[in-house]
A and B are shown apart, each in its own frame.
Chain A
Amino acid sequence: MAARRAIHRLSRRPDLMIIESYQKLPVVYSCGPGEKSAVKSQRPLSTAKRPVNLDLSSIQFPLPALVSISHRVSGILLFIGLIFLMWAFQVSLSSPAGFDTVREAMAHGFLARLVLWGLLSALGFHFVAGVRHLIMDMGHGETLEGGQLGAQLTIIISALLVVMAGVWVW
């Protein structure tokens, strides 16, 4: 008896009834000049060609957002860099002569050192930003302030690593 009364009360809930009646309302479409306004569709509002505001230059990106996109970019660069890494790996282990070739390139070759420094920098940044992701997965740094601090630390530590890598390579 009590359950029935409760369900009865539930079905009388005005907010639910409002939702229900809204769903039953027929959709009204706009009509052009000369067309009679009707409940059933005449000429639907043009939805196909609506513009979208995605002018990225007009949108503000806070530091955590910039760190995030850089994390993605560095990842892609590393994927491309895998070719160089694999080449160096193979040649350096093939023979003493091969090892010397790689060593020579890393010590004196301008392009080789540039590529190496670029890859090490990308790796350093991707690594630090990745560690930040893992820390956030554990539940730390997910607040507004925490996210900002995490992003700042990522940049500072990565910058240090880039400089250190530069010193090492050059």
Chain B
Amino acid sequence: MVINIMNPGRNGVADWIIQRASAVILGLYTIFMVAYLLFHPDLDYTAWSGLFSHIWMKVFTLLALVSVAAHAWVGLWIVATDYIKPAAIRFGALLFVILALFVFVVWGVQVIWGV
């Protein structure tokens, strides 16, 4: 049994499920966005802000944002624990990642709810 204090989930299964579930959500969001942009080549501000004024789109986008944070956190935690062996530097790098992801989420929420 390997004990680790900075692992995201309670255990390996939780991390794995979080990574897979967030991946599926992000996959769906990506397909939707790409399809939307492809089918609206002459997009203007009215249509674009109109899309994000719908509550379901706000919820979907917020879900995608949280999924990005979860997915990126699990992935980058694994990368950090693979390559950065000195504990202090690894801790610093992971702290930076958490802060960056937190900023992205807050930033995104502010943008969505500003529409």
Chain A residues within CB distance 8 Å of chain B: 72, 75-76, 78-79, 82, 86, 89-90, 92-96, 99-100, 103, 123, 127, 130-131, 134, 137, 168
Query: Are A89's CB and B108's CB within 8 A?
Result: yes
Would you call B72 an interface residue if the criterion is a C-beta within 8 Å of the partner chain's C-beta atoms? Answer: yes
Query: Knowing A79-B76, A99-B44, A131-B27 touch, does A93 contact B68 (C-beta < 8 A)?
Result: no
Chain B residues within CB distance 8 Å of chain A: 20, 23-24, 27, 30, 38, 43-46, 48-49, 52, 68, 72, 75-76, 79, 97, 100, 104, 107-108, 111, 114-115
Number of A-B contacts (CB under 8 A): 55
CA distance A95 to B46 in the complex (A): 9
Query: Are A82's CB and B104's CB within 8 A?
Result: yes
Query: Are B108's CB and A93's CB within 8 A?
Result: no
**Chain B residues, CB < 8 A from A103:** 43
Query: Are B79's CB and A72's CB within 8 A?
Result: yes
Give which listed residue, B23, B38, B97, B111, contacts A134 with CB less than 8 A.
Answer: B23
